[in-house]
């Protein structure tokens, strides 16, 4: 029989934070539950921390060098969930310098939001909590629990304990990021391959 592993939902995350500060769990996040100021505060805190963590840009919410063409008006409309929407390699190519303005991409060099060609973009997107990988979810929950304890509970020892758990969760998240992103210090771009030195081949000589 296969074991089904469920990821965290917004409800389970809120209950984890409540449990961390010694409060009883809730059965649903609805209008009735949100009438409780503490529940509403913790739900908003979870959303804020999720945004803070995702803003850093992880492998799961980052797309590099995606080719996009302007629309029929020559505009690049920025998606509502885009944290970063920037032309790739802008630190090298100084012919354009783009920023977000009125929901569209605006070129500061040419003083216009109208473009005549497509570009490769680097994009960081904000995902719903349930779409975030489990390791990152646990980091978000742990970080939110520290903030909840700091702001709602006058117990320095509890805060210190939760900070240790946050550090462990962050380490797990970074390990997941390293494994999932296949990062290496050589910095090889996508669609390339590289075979590292394999010591056992010295025996063939």
Strand partners, 65: none
76/165 same-domain check: no
Give a yes or no: residue 201 inside a domain.
no
Q: How many domains does the chain have?
A: 2
Place of tokens 């009438």: 35
Distance between CA 58 and CA 47 in Å, rounded?
Answer: 17
Q: Is 98 helix (H, G, I), strand (E, B) or coil?
A: strand
Distance between CA 2 and CA 32 in Å, rounded?
Answer: 37
Distance between CA 147 and CA 145 in Å, rounded?
Answer: 5
Whole domain around residue 74: which residue ranges? 59-125
86, containing H or E segment: strand 82-87
Give a yes or no: residue 2 inside a domain.
no
Give a yes or no: residue 110 inside a domain.
yes
101/112 same-domain check: yes
Exposed, middle or buried by CB within 10 Å (0-12, 13-18, 19+), for 37? exposed
Widest distance between CA atoms in the chain: 74
Give a yes or no: residue 192 inside a domain.
no
pLDDT at residue 181, as a whole number: 80
pLDDT at residue 187, as a whole number: 65
What letters, b where the CB count within 10 A reaches 16 and e where it falls short, cover 22-31?
A: ebeebeebee
76/120 same-domain check: yes
Tens digit of pLDDT per residue, the chain (205 long)? 555 556 689 999 999 999 999 999 999 999 999 999 999 999 999 999 999 999 999 999 999 999 999 999 999 999 999 999 999 987 677 788 999 999 999 999 999 999 999 999 999 999 999 999 999 999 999 999 999 999 998 889 999 999 999 999 999 999 999 888 877 666 666 667 767 666 766 665 5
């Amino acid at each position: 029989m296969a074991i089904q592993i469920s990821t965290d939902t917004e409800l389970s995350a809120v209950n984890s934070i409540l449990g961390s500060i010694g409060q009883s769990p809730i059965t649903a996040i609805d209008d009735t539950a949100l009438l409780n100021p503490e529940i509403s505060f913790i739900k908003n805190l979870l959303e804020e921390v999720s945004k803070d963590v995702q803003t850093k840009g992880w492998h799961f919410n980052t797309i590099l060098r995606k080719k996009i063409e302007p629309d029929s008006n020559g505009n690049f409309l920025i998606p509502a969930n885009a944290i970063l929407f920037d032309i790739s390699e802008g630190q090298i190519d100084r012919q354009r310098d783009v920023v977000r303005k009125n929901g569209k991409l605006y070129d500061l060099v040419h003083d216009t939001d109208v473009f005549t060609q497509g570009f490769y973009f680097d994009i960081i997107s904000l995902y719903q909590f349930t779409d975030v990988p489990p390791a990152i979810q646990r980091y978000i929950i742990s970080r939110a629990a520290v903030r909840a304890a700091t702001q709602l509970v006058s117990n320095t020892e509890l805060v210190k304990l939760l900070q240790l758990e946050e550090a462990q969760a962050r380490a797990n998240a970074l390990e997941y990021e390293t494994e999932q992103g296949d990062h290496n210090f050589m910095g090889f771009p996508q669609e390339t391959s590289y075979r590292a030195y394999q010591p056992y081949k010295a025996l063939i000589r």
